[in-house]
Amino acid sequence: MEWDIPNKERISEKLAIEIFSSILNGAIPTGSKLPTIKTLLKRTNTSIETLRKALRILIDWKIVFKTRQGYFVTGDLTVIHAVRQSYIEQETAKYKAQLSKMACKAEISFELLEV
């Protein structure tokens, strides 16, 4: 029997999602400067390398950009909504795949609130 155990999500990916969630729920306002690296390290209790990788993910998603003054959240709500939708679709696909492995034929339906 072959096991189908997916690779664990990296801590940096989880941290990027946590920061993105803070942006979505308004704890970190769009268009604002992120807290300093030192402050983020204290809040997240991770290594600087993990934090840098998480910020790199957010930069790749175009949610955050870096300047000489620090890291800033985009003010472009279109980008934020697109990344949110993409994340929801990816996670939904993961759950559907897991349910199908269990021979579950339930329909998945999500009602999402607008950001």
Average pLDDT over residues 64-83: 96
pTM of the model: 0.78
What is the residue type of 100? S
Contacts of residue 115, defined as CB under 8 A and 6 or more positions apart, other chains included, come to: 24, 77, 80, 81, 84
**Span 22-69, pLDDT tens digits:** 999 999 999 999 999 999 999 999 999 999 999 999 999 999 999 999
Q: Tell me: pLDDT of 7 over 60.
A: no
The reported pLDDT for the residue numbered 3 is 54
**Span 83-99, pLDDT tens digits:** 999 999 988 888 887 77
Q: Residue 111: which pLDDT band, with cuts at 50, 70 and 90?
A: low
Q: Residue 9: which pLDDT band, with cuts at 50, 70 and 90?
A: low
Can you list the domains of the chain with their CATH numbers?
A: 11-75 (1.10.10.10)
Which letter, b or e, does each residue of 39-72 get, where b requires 16 or more Cβ atoms within 10 Å of its Cβ?
ebeeeeebeeebbebbbebbeebebbeeeeeebe
